[in-house]
Amino acid sequence: MSNSRLSVEEAAIRIESLREQIRHHDELYYRHAAPEITDREYDALVDELRELEKRFPQFSSEASPTETVGSDRAEGFETVVHPVPMLSISNTYTPGEVREFDERIRRLLGRGEKEAIPYVVELKIDGVAVTIMYQDGRLEYAATRGDGVRGDLITANIRTIHKIPARLPEGAGLAPRGRFEVRGEVFMRHGEFQKLNQQRIELGLEPFANPRNTTAGTLKLLDARLVAERPLDIFLYAVGAHDAPLPARHWEVLELLDRLGLPTNPERRRCENLDEVLAAIESWETARKELDYDTDGLVIKVDELALREELGARSKSPRWMIAYKFSAEQAQTRLHGIELQVGRTGAVTPVAHLEPVFVAGSTISRATLHNADEIERKDIRVGDTVIIEKGGDVIPKVVRVIESLRTGQEAPFVYPTECPVCGGGLHRPEGEAVHRCINASCPAQVKGRILHYASRNAMDIDGLGDKIVDQLVDGGHVEDIAGLYELTREQLAGLERMAEKSADNLLRGIDESRRRPLANLIYALGIRFVGSAGARLLVRRYASIDALIAAGEEELTAIDGVGEVVARSVREFFAEEKNRRLIERLRMHGVNLERLPEEAPPSAEALAGSPFAGKTCVLTGKLETMSREEGEERIAALGGKAAGSVSKKTDLVIAGPGAGSKLEKARQLGIEIIDEAEFIRRLEAAAGG
């Protein structure tokens, strides 16, 4: 895209649009680990934004992603811990599974075959979940779902939606005192979305891809004035925390919301039994196409709140509710070619290049083919007409080939025996489905290793993206990670699209990486099977890279949390002469190879103030914001001990949704029980104090 002739006004719009897109992709990448675009495409957005901000300094902003890249880029919002976690819903795909859901519920409630359970069937809106808290009838805050436990505060943005009352009326059947939290989905109607895109096209801007992403991006804008210009809409469908009593049924709760002036979706059905639910499903399968907003299914909810109470929740989702997903949207298109991508470990992934086709709200031109077996099993040939499928937010995939449309010109894909990047041999290790390029100096691998080294959880080198690394490696400036520290200003300034200031910034970023914690370095080395958490475990035991290099496999395996696979991989890595030479070069360049004070196991002093010190804790149920391993690690870091089962020796139980027998036992033994929100509060208090 050429920006060279933008007017000031157009530049302002383009800058805002880029910022918003980048934030959106940051969110997908960092929070959901589900990127929708390649690193290359991402870098192009950031580069373009940098360039525009340089040319139009009047629009520079501290909140711009160019200023925050490398720190937590999805930040910019205060957060709030939800008083009631925002769970998700488990999915079903066939009427049969819905029948099983009903059977399960009746079994759990001890109901006989004739005793029907009444349900409410609602549309599942494909938007962005939000929660709005009213305190004494006044809108206090609004937040995103976030990770379910803690969300971003987006109050000003939600206030721009005119349908949301700032105050709740009195006399609508709800005591105006105390908390009243309502939850729902923000979305954009098709007509409004098209109008918005029309305006953008007239301004010479890229149209947005689909209403859902636009809604998500809009809610993340830091300037509510821009949000106010976007046609956001909302349906509320649930109550979270509430001090006043609720009516007995969900249906009546929705009616209460209506009386309070809180927008609900009129498209809802009250079903007296399963058969009526199944009839509703059937009629929506076609009727949904008439709606002027996106839905990805139906939500079937037990109507009686008392029954919900009795049913409770599973790990991530309530037992009294289920989503019925409409069948994934498919489309027919042509497969033009198959490209092999080589990752940093040499693993080769085949990717299908498709004739662009519009499916489920966005244009698809690439799809993953996983591996050679998959191509063979589905007999996918270049030139074939294929059915592709995009379900929810997953990467599109090729479902099958339409053989009847073959012309005879299609070419079976011959899996190359040579790496498409370096020409070296491809090898398929026994028992593995993937082919690997075995040439460790293959440029694709070198680039991958450098990008990994520079990534956020590793050495966090700001400004070292795809494009730069491509040029550095292809231009012969860098051969490995240690080579980064040998780069000169002249070399960098000579690269394409590299302004002097960016060259200096990059040099500064590289320099700063010398002082990263040891765990970051160990992770950055890209030792197979050693992730960030594994690296931290190793550092707790070894105070320097030299101590780690000297460690034997048995000693490594003895570390709590380090298994044989990791231990062997670490040994193999350091057994290689060239890896040890690499470490020596890093040392020569002043890269930190020692454990930093903050990485050390906690001292007695530090432990004195820790609420976990000397305590035996048990984590049970599902945690929303971290894995159980991470929770255990954090307890250990604060001097506590994480145990697997509850006994008289247990001091504290942290229970998430779905906690079962351990929680029960803790109750019986009178052990202190806290939820995840409280756990996080204590962790943060301990870390901060």
Question: CB of 176 within 8 A of CB of 241?
Answer: no
Question: Which range, of 83-91, 286-294, 459-467, 615-623, touches ligand IVH by CB under 6 A?
Answer: 83-91
Verify binding: residue 348, ligand IVH, rule CB under 6 A: no
Q: Does 185 bind ligand IVH (CB under 6 A)?
A: yes
d(CA 11, CA 4): 10
Least Å distance, CB 127 to ligand IVH, is 7
| Residue with token string 């999805």 | 74
CB closer to ligand IVH out of 89 and 369: 89
CB of 630 to ligand IVH, least distance (A): 23
Provide, rounded to whole angstroms, the least separation between the CB of residue 362 and ligand IVH: 19
Query: How near is the Cβ of 158 to ligand IVH at its closest, in Å?
Result: 15
Task: Choose the binding region for ligand IVH from 118-126, 174-182, 477-485, 550-558 (rule: CB under 6 A).
Answer: 118-126
Quote the CA–CA distance of 482 and 585 in Å, as a whole number: 6
Residue whose C-beta lies closest to ligand IVH = 129
**Residue found by looking up tokens 């939290």 in the block:** 181
User: Is the C-alpha dihedral spanning 482, 487, 492, 494 positive or negative?
Assistant: negative
The one catalytic residue in 124, 301, 390, 662 is 124
Angle at alpha carbon of residue 153, lines to 149 and 155, rounded to 5°: 135
In the chain, the amino acid numbered 314 is: R
Q: Does 233 bind ligand IVH (CB under 6 A)?
A: no
Site membership for ligand IVH, residue 391 (CB under 6 A): no
Among 323, 626, 642, 655, binds ligand IVH (CB under 6 A): 323
Nearer to ligand IVH, 309 or 577 (CB): 309
| 235/573 with CB nearer ligand IVH | 235
Asked whether position 294 contacts ligand IVH by CB under 6 A, the answer is no
- Exactly one of 73, 124, 381, 536 binds ligand IVH (CB under 6 A); that residue is 124
Stated as kind and residue range, the H or E segment containing 271 is: strand 268-271
The residue (of 147 and 633) whose beta carbon lies closer to ligand IVH is 147
- Residue 316 is among the residues annotated as catalytic for this protein: no
Q: Which is nearer to ligand IVH, 125 or 683 (CB)?
A: 125
- Cβ 406 vs Cβ 437: under 8 Å: no
**232 makes contact with ligand IVH (CB under 6 A):** no
Q: Given candidates 80, 129, 300, 619, which one binds ligand IVH under the rule CB under 6 A?
A: 129
216 binds ligand IVH (CB under 6 A): no
Q: Is 299 a residue that touches ligand IVH (CB under 6 A)?
A: yes
CB of 302 to ligand IVH, least distance (A): 12
Among candidate residues 509, 506, 439, the one with its CA nearest the CA of residue 471: 506
257 is a contact residue toward ligand IVH (CB under 6 A): no
- Reported in sequence order, the residue ranges of 360-404 that DSSP labels E, i.e. its strands, are 362-368, 381-382, 385-390, 397-401
Amino acid at 389: E
Map tokens 């030299």 to a residue.
Answer: 546
- Asked if residue 168 lies in contact with residue 256, where contact means CB atoms within 8 angstroms, the answer is no
Size of the residue set binding ligand IVH (CB under 6 A) = 14
**CB 384, min distance to ligand IVH, A:** 34
Measured from the CB atom, is 47 or 122 closer to ligand IVH?
Answer: 122
Secondary structure (H, E, C), 510-534: HHHHHHCCHHHHHHHCCCCCCCHHH
From 11-19, 82-90, 154-162, 582-590, give the range in contact with ligand IVH by CB under 6 A. Answer: 82-90
Backbone angles phi, psi at 562, to 5 degrees: -100, 120
What the block records as the tokens of 565 is 């696979």
Nearest C-alpha neighbor of 78 from the set 17, 30, 146, 29 = 146
From the CB of 368, what's the least distance to ligand IVH, in Å?
23
DSSP code, position 234: E
Using a 10 angstrom Cβ sphere, with 0-12 exposed, 13-18 middle and 19 or more buried, the burial of residue 8 is exposed
Q: Enter the tokens of residue 244.
A: 């006043």
For ligand IVH, the closer CB: 183 or 540:
183
**Options 75-83, 86-94, 586-594, 674-682: segment touching ligand IVH (CB under 6 A):** 86-94
| Amino acid identity, position 305 | L
Q: Is residue 544 near ligand IVH by the rule CB under 6 A?
A: no
- Look at residues 260, 253, 226 and name the one whose alpha carbon lies nearest to residue 139: 260
Place of tokens 């305006």: 199
Q: How far is the CB of 144 from ligand IVH (least distance, A)?
A: 10
Residue 80 near residue 144, CB atoms below 8 Å: no
Residue closer to ligand IVH, measured from CB, 123 or 446: 123
The stretch among 120-128, 239-247, 451-459, 651-659 that binds ligand IVH (CB under 6 A) is 120-128
Nearest to 592 by CA among 503, 508, 452, 485: 485
> Considering the rule CB under 6 A, would residue 253 count as an interface residue with ligand IVH?
no
Applying CB under 6 A, does 469 fall inside the site for ligand IVH?
no
Q: Where do we find the tokens 């470490």?
A: 583
* Interaction between residue 657 and ligand IVH (CB under 6 A): no
> Among 502, 495, 462, 471, which residue's Cα sits nearest to residue 54?
502
- CB nearer ligand IVH, residue 102 or residue 122: 122
Residue among 237, 251, 523, 574 that touches ligand IVH (CB under 6 A)? 237
**89 forms part of the interface with ligand IVH (CB under 6 A):** yes
Spatial neighbors of 67 by CB under 8 A, at least 6 apart, are 61
23 vs 269, beta carbon nearer ligand IVH: 269
Q: Burial of 37 by CB count in 10 Å (0-12 exposed, 13-18 middle, 19+ buried)? A: middle
Q: Which residues contribute to the site for ligand IVH (CB under 6 A)?
A: 87-89, 122, 124-125, 129, 145, 185, 237-238, 299, 318, 323
Residues designated catalytic:
124
